[in-house]
Chain A
Amino acid sequence: MNKSSSVVEIAAGDNSTSAFDVEKIRADFPILSQKIYDGKPLVYLDNGASAQKPRQVIDAMSDLYETRYSNVHRGVHWTSQQSTNAYEAGRQKAGAFLNAASDNEIIFTSGATEAINLVAASWGRANLKAGDEVILTHMEHHSNIVPWQLLRQEKDIVIKVVPIDDDGNFLFDEFEKLLTDKTKMVAVTHVSNALGTIVPVADVIKAAHAKGALVLLDGCQAVPHQSVDVQALGADFYVFSGHKLYGPTGIGILWGREDILNAMPPYQGGGEMIASVTFEKTTFQKAPHRFEAGTPAIAEVVGLGAAIDYVNAIGLDNIAAHEHDVLQYATERLQAMDGVTIIGNAREKAAIVSFVLEDIHPHDVGTFIDRAGVAVRVGHHCAQPVMDRFGVAATARASFGLYNTRAEVDTLVDALEETRKFFS
């Protein structure tokens, strides 16, 4: 594999242990060996938006298409049986990944966005009435705000928002004050995509349950960085997207407690989700099939299963330790830079650093460091309320994955220094 010299150099002492060999991991990701803009190594620090895919995921999907692809749960033929097995194996892997009590609790969706919309539309419509309260936090992604607002238009529910402090910490005392007997749902991010804040979700769940409210956790930014046990947490719903976990796009997971799911009405109608259909009356399957109308994303489920196998083989604890090291290093280096302000300094953080560079607009920053081969997200990160909270329209965000290195942080910082010089 064609590796850049700068990447090889760091293998000597940095990040390379017997438990976690970052060079070995990087070799699994074909895109990382690419050079862009006349020979610059690609420094991909936009994992919060979407992560790159290891060869194992790409191969698993190709293999399905090349050797045993067919529709699932339908045919009596060999390929259908093979595809169904591969598809349902994906469900088992996702169930084990979250420590679900049963694989029936794993519903495949197109992503976390659809998963939240499903809960808001199905559970929300069936269970909420005018005046009932849904509690969100100030740092939600738009995908955990807008579905509830759509429900509010229909049901006249009340949306309350937990504030955060100037460092981006979730204010637990304020959350407790918002909880009332009318609170029916607490829908919060596990890890903030814009700030990196890790929300104390176990405590949130305890407090919410004490008031009889259910809890939905948006785990998009959590599952790539830490192990999650939905039973130990005591959650009611947990959602995440496959593509942020080194899997393909177009596939996500809604985990829900089986008793809750089986009491929920269907979300979409179609094939696969029915028990029997006549023009007079249709009866529905139980979860998960009740919520999986139509032909699903078969190869994507297989790809997600391969991604789960991949991170499990490395170990989420090892990944978390490595990313924490890179995060700390990046935080120190950025803090030491003139003109950089980090937005979000919560006590508990995942590997995300949002920042602004003097008064240079993040879009200009992004365009400049891109020329140095560095990919970061610039903008509002689909979390405009949190941008408003910090009085910025946009930030630049470096979000790290298991393949990132301290050397890549150095490249980022060098590029930012050059950018600052250009604009000064």
Chain B
Amino acid sequence: MFDDLRDLYQEVILDHGKSPRNFRRPEDATCLAHGNNPVCGDTLVVYITQDDSGKITDAAFQGQGCAISVASASMMTDIVKGKTVEKANRLFEGFHNMCTRDDFNVAELADCDEDAIDRLVMLSGVKEFPIRVKCATLAWHTMQAAVNGDQETSTE
């Protein structure tokens, strides 16, 4: 019955949704932001720790949401760890394009690491479910808000 949902709800995503990585509040976080999706009530807090050069040394989150939004937050925190803010933003831009643009070509992210791209491609299955794109991008919006110094963000 649900064959066409398996592209989106893959094992890896279900696993991240059930057992999210980096689901904690780091004591030494240098910035944080609250993200919420007023349509569905998903809420999360993203904690980012940056070193003096601005590099992201730790990323974590807490909150609640659907399998897609929790998996996305889990993967996002894994992905941005160890990256510069510029690189994290670049990956978000690429992911957003993946989820929304029909003509997206993964070659556009040739400058990014393959492991990150593979994970994002997996999540980009939400493209077929436009109403759920916000679920997948909420954590990324919130990460961006945190490093930009905005305390609140919303997908609306």
Q: Using a CB–CB distance below 8 Å, which chain A residues touch chain B?
A: 360-364, 367-368, 371-372, 378-380, 384, 387, 393-394, 415, 418-419, 422-423
Q: In chain A, what residue has the closest Cβ to B131?
A: A367
Q: In chain A, what residue has the closest Cβ to B43?
A: A393
**Chain A positions within 8 Å of B146 at CB level:** none
> Which of A367, A378, A380 is in CB contact (< 8 Å) with B129?
A367
CB <8 Å contact, A378 and B2 = no
CB <8 Å contact, A363 and B2 = no
Q: List 14 A-B contacts (CB under 8 A).
A: A361-B65, A363-B42, A364-B68, A367-B129, A371-B1, A371-B4, A379-B39, A379-B40, A380-B41, A393-B41, A393-B42, A393-B64, A394-B41, A415-B1
Q: Taking each of B4, B14, B65, B66, which has the highest tally of chain A beta carbons within 10 Å of its own beta carbon?
A: B66
**What is the distance, in angstroms, from B137's C-beta to the closest C-beta of chain A?**
14
**Chain A positions within 8 Å of B1 at CB level:** 371-372, 415, 418
CB <8 Å contact, B2 and A418 = yes
Q: Known: A364-B66, A423-B14. Is A384-B41 also a contact (CB below 8 A)?
A: yes
Q: In chain A, what residue has the closest Cβ to B14?
A: A423
**Chain A positions within 8 Å of B42 at CB level:** 363, 393
Cα distance A364–B2 when bound, in Å?
A: 12
Cα distance A371–B64 when bound, in Å?
A: 24
Mask of B9-30 contacts with A, CB within 8 angstroms, 1/0 = 1000010000000000000000
**Chain A positions within 8 Å of B132 at CB level:** 363, 367
> Which of B5, B66, B67 is in CB contact (< 8 Å) with A371?
B5
User: At the interface, is chain B mostly helix, strand, loop or mixed?
Assistant: mixed
**Chain A positions within 8 Å of B39 at CB level:** 379
**What is the distance, in angstroms, from A89's C-beta to the closest C-beta of chain B?**
38
Cα distance A64–B143 when bound, in Å?
A: 53
**Chain B positions within 8 Å of A361 at CB level:** 64-67, 70
**Chain B positions within 8 Å of A378 at CB level:** 40
**Chain A positions within 8 Å of B135 at CB level:** 363
Cα distance A423–B65 when bound, in Å?
A: 15
CB <8 Å contact, A380 and B40 = yes
**What is the distance, in angstroms, from B43's C-beta to the closest C-beta of chain A?**
7
CB <8 Å contact, B2 and A371 = yes
**Chain B positions within 8 Å of A384 at CB level:** 41
**What is the distance, in angstroms, from A210's C-beta to the closest C-beta of chain B?**
38
Cα distance A394–B135 when bound, in Å?
A: 14
Q: Which of B53-110 contact A (CB under 8 A)?
A: 64-68, 70
Which 8 A-B residue pairings sit nearest by Cβ, starting from the closest?
Answer: A363-B66, A361-B66, A380-B41, A393-B41, A379-B40, A364-B67, A394-B41, A364-B66
**Chain B positions within 8 Å of A387 at CB level:** 41
CB <8 Å contact, A379 and B41 = yes
**Chain A positions within 8 Å of B70 at CB level:** 361
Cα distance A364–B129 when bound, in Å?
A: 12
Cα distance A374–B98 when bound, in Å?
A: 29
Cα distance A360–B129 when bound, in Å?
A: 18
CB <8 Å contact, A368 and B67 = no
**Chain B positions within 8 Å of A393 at CB level:** 41-43, 64-65
Cα distance A393–B37 when bound, in Å?
A: 11
Cα distance A367–B126 when bound, in Å?
A: 11
**Chain B positions within 8 Å of A380 at CB level:** 40-41
Cα distance A278–B12 when bound, in Å?
A: 71
**Chain B positions within 8 Å of A415 at CB level:** 1
Q: In chain B, what residue has the closest Cβ to A40?
A: B1
Cα distance A418–B1 when bound, in Å?
A: 8
Cα distance A364–B40 when bound, in Å?
A: 11
**Chain B positions within 8 Å of A362 at CB level:** 66
**What is the distance, in angstroms, from B42's C-beta to the closest C-beta of chain A?**
7
Q: In chain A, what residue has the closest Cβ to B42?
A: A393
**Chain B positions within 8 Å of A372 at CB level:** 1
Cα distance A371–B9 when bound, in Å?
A: 13
**Chain A positions within 8 Å of B40 at CB level:** 363, 378-380, 394
Cα distance A367–B43 when bound, in Å?
A: 19
**Chain A positions within 8 Å of B14 at CB level:** 423
Cα distance A314–B126 when bound, in Å?
A: 43
Q: Taking each of A360, A364, A387, which has the highest tally of chain B beta carbons within 10 Å of its own beta carbon?
A: A364
CB <8 Å contact, A422 and B66 = no
**What is the distance, in angstroms, from A380's C-beta to the closest C-beta of chain B?**
4
